[in-house]
Structure 1
């Protein structure tokens, strides 16, 4: 274990003024346990008040013994934001957090505990999907029960690693899926799913789900193309026919929604390399 370890929470944000306040409020209510903590927000190419909203939490962070810094850049892109944040971050543990995620009180300390080791390690928590529309709720019921989502360490919304793990590559490259790229730098036995939850908003509506699912597939394909050696660490196993049948019998509407999106993606109804859509 590291003596008096520091946890750096890196939070890239592009036009997230409507979400980042709730994200920081929950984060600063966390119980860090024996760990010190700092938050680095990077407001990248924002046209709204994201940076101003984040700066309002500096006093709250200070009162808790944390530090919160806000970096503003006119350069767009999440990967650039991650690189900028890492120039400032000083932590022994690095937690990468999306600005629309709500962490539970124990998540930060349990991730830090899992990564408080000299051996390279990767961690995330237990995701809970937030969905509003009936279609998205139906889709999410099945999606959350897929083996990799239900028991694996996917890392969407929140992923983390220790410094020994981060040393496995240099600057973040310009890729679609940063969480996939990070996760696949670690073998399955180097990843840990901690017993603490976080709330993650799913894209709303059929077409937005199709576009985002296609973009995620593009992200995995991109990693496989540019970094084929990383695919040795891929442990995502599609559900078999029996598993699909079991899901369908327990939730026919959910399975219908899930299969509709999956078939639309396979049919090419969503263009490749889509720009990010919120649909929230």
Structure 2
């Protein structure tokens, strides 16, 4: 179904490397969107993949054309998420841009709600309501049960795996800098009053297993520290509640098992520094 000529465009960028098992489900969730007020242009920036990510993505091209939308699969020879994001940004037509991880799935109303929230000349950032996918491993289920109750998450507009900006918002930065945490960097380009969480959910998978949790959490913490060192002025935009002693006690009493698993990961990440390689944990 086409929305007709002249309809505003929404550009959606996916950086993908070795995502053949996930990219199809991600693209299908885009095709299932209830979107009538805009046309969708998708850029899958496949960077240095050694699997069939490109081939799988290309099988969806005709389905996007049938909706009057465009699916562009880019071959980015140099590995790295930031490099892939910048390559896709260079060929994007601008306007509202959504940045999406390849393993995320969107509820049908999400893009429509993001478009409505960002359809303004005021610089804004938006994301959906994060819903953690059911975990397969016991340890990840316990970790997620505690993580979802942290003030950072409960405060909303987390943006893990999905964030969007309008044209005025995208002007807040030039290229994505060569840093670990692109999502944190973009979120902190905006004050709390400039960040919106729309009601529609997106499904975000947490990594499976204790070793992977430690590895990815170590990298996430290193990404936040990198921003604190290189862009200290951005920290004033955080606006998230801190985890005080009273909140720690409440979480421990409410969920002792999840608290202990989270504490084990928290301690383990400080035993060894993180690398700069883009880590998925699968």
TM-score by length of 2: 0.94
Cα distance in structure 2, aligned partners of 1:221 and 1:162: 27
* Structure 1, 51-60 or 142-151: larger mean CA deviation: 142-151
CA contact (8 A) 1:208 1:277 kept: no
CA contact (8 A) 1:211 1:274 kept: no
Cα distance in structure 1, aligned partners of 2:92 and 2:280: 28
CA contact (8 A) 1:79 1:178 kept: yes
Give the C-alpha shift of residue 269 in structure 1: 2.2
Cα distance in structure 2, aligned partners of 1:275 and 1:24: 25
Q: Unpaired segments of 5 or more residues in structure 1?
A: none
Match of 1:85 in 2: 88
Q: Quick check: 1:100 aligned with 2:112?
A: no
Q: How many residues align?
A: 276
TM-score by length of 1: 0.94
Cα distance in structure 2, aligned partners of 1:238 and 1:214: 19
Q: Helix, strand or coil: the match of 1:198?
A: strand
Q: Say what the alpha-carbon RMSD is for the aligned residues.
A: 1.4
CA contact (8 A) 2:47 2:79 kept: yes
CA contact (8 A) 1:212 1:276 kept: no
Q: Helix, strand or coil: the match of 2:179?
A: coil
Q: How does 1:87-166 map to 2 (within 5 A)?
A: 87-130=90-133, 131-166=135-170
Q: Quick check: 1:271 aligned with 2:273?
A: yes
Q: Helix, strand or coil: the match of 1:128?
A: strand
Q: Quick check: 1:70 aligned with 2:73?
A: yes
Give the C-alpha shift of residue 204 in structure 1: 1.1
Cα distance in structure 1, aligned partners of 2:226 and 2:216: 15
Q: Quick check: 1:14 aligned with 2:33?
A: no
Give the C-alpha shift of residue 274 in structure 1: 5.3
